[in-house]
Amino acid sequence: MLKNYLKTAWRNLWKGRVFNAMNIIGLSVAVACCIMLFLTVYYEFSYDKYHTNIDKIYQFYFTKNGAEKVEKATSMPAPLTPAVKAEYQDIKYITRMGNGGTVVRYGNTQVEKSIHFVDPDFLKMFTFPVVKGNNTAPLKELNDLVITEYAATAIFGKTDPIGKSIELNYSGEPKAFVVSAVVKDFPGNSSIGFDILLRYENTPEYQEHMKHWDWHDHTVFVQLNDNVKPAGFESRLQNFVKKTFKSTIADMKRDGAKPDAQGNVYTLNLTAFAKNHFNTDMDGLEGNTVNKSYVISLLIIGAFILIIACINFVNLSVARAFTRAREVGVRKTLGAGTWQLLTQFWVETVLVCLFALVMGIVIANFALPGFKATFRSQVSMDMLLQPVQLVVIIGLFILITVVAGLYPALLMMRYKTVLVLKGTVNTTKPGKVRNVLLVTQFALSTLLIVCTLITWQQIDFIKKKPLGYSKDEVVSIPIGKTVSGARALELFRNQLNGQPGVVSVTGAFDNMGNGKDGSMRTSVTGFTYKGHNISTNVQGVSYDYVKTLGIQMVDGRDFSPEFASDSSAIVINEKMAAQLGGKNVVGTYLPIDENKPSLIIGVMKNFHFRSLRTEIEPLTLVMSGYDINYVFVKVRPQNLSQTFAMIESKWHQTFPNADFAGSWINENTERQYRAEQRLSTIFISGAIIAIIISCIGLLAISFMIMVQRTKEIGIRKVLGANIAGLVMLLSRDFLKLVLLAAVIAFPVAWWLMSQWLQSFVYRIEIQWWIFALAAFIAVAIAFITISFQSIKAALANPVRSLRSE
């Protein structure tokens, strides 16, 4: 029986090979897209799930209900952890976590590795199983060191690292540690990433930090006891907060803080580590967090494409149902039961889908490297073989074959056998279902077109928006760990001094945009001034910062080596000046450091030192107290690439052991919008694929319609219709549907995109012409597609089409 089904199915498919090829192409492209998109989505959702205790782990954060805004901060003071642990029974495990980088020396090997400073509970909370060495208490001693397999191989090669002593330099002076355990490498979908674990007590100036409740510089993770509810624990914590942070709370109240529902202005809260990867609500979390809506939009685009391809499938099958109706009738007279017929059609559908699935996997396999590069996705094809994915694939497969295969089959089944065999089944009726499906397809496509246009417009807007400083002729070079910042800057400044093409050289604590080193630093400080709490971003700089970055001064002057006192002076931006009371702030002293007030020597015009997602915040430039991590070089606009090469070679000449990761600042600022660019690339690819697949369906359907209307066309031609009129006549019905689809898509697109634009402080207005353009694109593409068939039909000789009747 099955053999017979397969045989007939194959012959039927072969007979309609043009249609089926279209079907399969559309479906397999859709399958390939879905595989890649859904795997990416799965990957993002699988983040950190390898921790067995993930549901019980929380991260602490403070909520400050300020007068103007609510601030959430994850950084904690060092004495908090021991104090909380001693006071509360709810806590099973608790660990501080400070991140850093270090130079590791072992024998002749010298490498840079990343460190996490943690408390011993860390390894009990998080699932980093020990594969070698002490697996009961790997961080018992202060000089114990835990290392990942990966880092162990990099440092020790094939020798057994356990018990070996290595020298780390992370604070300026080398310290020796003993490797006590090697832990298994963590998977790529891990928020927490490190090479080396050290006891938290090894952080620089630990003892000093333990004395200060207002030095917030690390994160804290806690695992609650099994029966403890986080909300209950949070409310119990409030006693501790009120007791410990009395002065902070008093200051906040003085500045007009707005209490929350429980009447608290300053609270210590818990955020679930399980939701860490999608938590874009606050800064200072482990790993790169991802906006959930971004992941969801991938899922939706994938679903759209799949739906569009399935609609094609249904429409093509329905279109062919007319030719198959006679076969169904004959089979019925030969004694076929309904189920036997349904099975036969289902087998055909399964064959097509199976073929499309295999082809889709092949296409995905070829497209994956490009996809991974474009969308920074970590997926691989063997992820498909995991049980969850297999079940989903098989489930989706069966669902699609049933929906797409059975509907047309049932439709054919409904035809009256007697009428079919007489050949008088009315096949020209327009088919409401078909129209609904076509409208759905084009609505989804138009939606994607609108999204593409708006994303593209917004990105263009951001790229072209003036930032208030010069980004085109400035090279930014991360200094790295191997050389010390301030000294490196001096050395390099001297090297470049007098070089043709170089205008000026400076250094700073934080980069502009996202550099090639991928690091981001934020330093915010607060102090009381004239009875108000003032908060400002702080940027440590060297001489010529203002000049090098082309920032305009509104008042006063830049730092100058001619004034010795400038080392303790500050330069502020307009926003900061406004916060201080506005006019004539130059010359006043600010108590940033209570013991040593700083003189304001200049006010800069506001510039966008962060991405355009946020408003410009108060900024203070200081000369001391901050490391120099980046060198900036302003060059003349001529021979940019040549100058860049010169800078690179000078760098290598000056620091033979250091990497050169320099880049133009305009590259750095563009890098800030990578997520948006990826999103727009996804929208564009999604829209193009959706449109192509929709057009395949439209092409096939129009072909069917033309065949059915051949006689009508012939008669009209005989009666004197011209070609253009006929083409319009034949296209009109379809174009109406496409327009209707566009109109349906517009409100949805408008709503979606205005939501998305909300995430930008600086954003475009959605223009009406975007919608008009999208509709025009959709209609034009549809018209061209239909024209292939309609022109052919209109040009056909009427004698032939009429003779056949």
Cβ distance to another protein smaller for residue 327 or 670: 327
Neighbouring residues of 513: CB distance < 8 A, sequence distance ≥ 6: 471, 476, 611, 665, 667, 668, 669, 670, 671, 672
Residue in 691, 784, 786, 785 with CA at minimum distance from that of residue 731: 786
**145 neighbors 138 (Cβ within 8 angstroms):** no
**For residues 5 and 734, which CB has a smaller minimum distance to another protein in the complex?**
5
Q: Are 203 and 98 in contact (CB under 8 A)?
A: yes
Residue 334 CA to residue 342 CA, distance in Å, equals 15
Contacts of 159 (CB under 8 A, 6+ apart): none
Closest distance between another protein and the C-beta of residue 23, in Å? 18
- Closest separation in Å from C-beta 343 to another protein: 11
CB atoms within 10 A of CB 615: 11
**CB nearer another protein, residue 423 or residue 531:** 423
Q: How far apart, in whole angstroms, are the C-alpha atoms of residue 234 and residue 12? A: 67
In 46-95, alpha helices (H) = 80-87
Residue with tokens 């900036």: 632
- Closest CB to another protein among 109 and 340? 340
Shortest approach of another protein to residue 19 CB, angstroms? 15
Work out how close the CB of 355 gets to another protein at its nearest, in angstroms, rounded to a whole number.
Answer: 18
In 3D space, the residue among 555, 657, 669 whose CA is nearest the CA of residue 604 turns out to be 555
* Cβ proximity to another protein, 7 vs 376, nearer residue: 7
* CB of 339 or CB of 769, closer to another protein: 339
Counting beta carbons within 10 angstroms of the beta carbon of residue 692, is it exposed (0 to 12), middle (13 to 18) or buried (19 or more)?
middle
Side chain identity at 309, as an amino acid letter?
A
Q: How far is the CB of 331 from another protein (least distance, A)?
A: 7
Least distance (Å) between residue 335 CB and another protein: 4
Count other C-beta atoms under 10 Å from residue 158's C-beta.
Answer: 5
Rounded to a whole number of angstroms, the minimum distance from the CB of residue 14 to another protein is: 8
Which of residues 15 and 242 has its CB atom nearest to another protein in the complex?
A: 15
User: By the criterion CB under 8 A, which residues form the site for another protein?
Assistant: 1, 4, 7-8, 11-12, 15, 326-327, 329-337, 340, 417-418, 421, 423
Letter for the amino acid at 204?
Answer: P
Among 288, 119, 293, 52, smallest CA distance to 190 is for 288
DSSP SS3 for 586: coil
**Smallest gap from residue 323 Cβ to another protein (A):** 10
Which is closer to another protein, CB of 8 or CB of 374?
8
List the alpha helices (DSSP H) in 426-530. Answer: 432-464, 485-496
Least gap, CB of 330 to another protein (angstroms): 5
Identify which of residues 15 and 465 has a Cβ nearer to another protein in the complex: 15
Instruction: State which residue, 341 or 770, has the beta carbon closest to another protein.
Output: 341
**Tokens, residue 72:** 């959430």
CB of 454 to another protein, least distance (A): 49
Q: How many CB atoms lie within 10 A of CB 758?
A: 9
List the beta strands (DSSP E) in 370-482. Answer: 474-478
Angstrom CA distances, 590 to 116, 528, 535, 701, stand at 36, 9, 12, 75
Do residues 708 and 788 lie in contact, with contact meaning Cβ atoms separated by under 8 Å? no
Rounded Cα distance, 624 and 650, in Å: 27
Q: Which residues contact 15 (CB under 8 A, 6 or more apart)?
A: none
CB nearer another protein, residue 8 or residue 677: 8
Asked if 408 contacts 402 with a C-beta cutoff of 8 angstroms, the reply is: no
> How far is residue 439's CA from residue 446's CA, in Å, rounded to a whole number?
10
CB of 721 to another protein, least distance (A): 33
Structural contact between residues 476 and 668, judged by C-beta atoms closer than 8 angstroms = yes
Nearest CB to another protein, comparing residues 376 and 414: 414
Minimum distance of another protein from residue 348's CB (angstroms): 11
The residues with which 117 forms a beta bridge, in sequence order, are 98, 198
Minimum CB distance to another protein, residue 340 (Å): 6
* Closest approach of another protein to the CB of residue 320, in Å: 13
- In total, the chain counts a number of residues equal to 805
CB 313 within 8 A of CB 348: no
Q: Are 381 and 40 in contact (CB under 8 A)?
A: no
Query: Closer CB to another protein, residue 341 or residue 616?
Result: 341
Closest CB to another protein among 191 and 417? 417
Cβ proximity to another protein: between 421 and 661 the closer is: 421
In the DSSP assignment, the letter for residue 712 is H
* First-to-final CA distance of the chain: 38
Tokens of 550: 């082309």
CA 445/CA 783 separation, integer angstroms? 15
Please, what is the minimum distance in Å from the beta carbon of residue 344 to another protein?
A: 10
Residue 423 or 498 having the CB closest to another protein:
423
Measured from the CB atom, is 14 or 769 closer to another protein?
14
CB of 789 to another protein, least distance (A): 24
Alpha-carbon span 61 to 271, nearest angstrom: 7
DSSP 8-state class, residue 708: H
**Nearest approach, Cβ of residue 714 and another protein (Å):** 24
- 335 vs 387 by CB, closer to another protein: 335
Axis-axis angle for helices 338-375, 292-333 (nearest 10): 150
344 in helix, strand or coil?
helix
- Least Å distance, CB 338 to another protein, is 9
Q: Pairing mode, if any, of strands 532-540 and 619-622? A: parallel
**Euclidean distance between CA atoms 179 and 84, whole angstroms:** 30
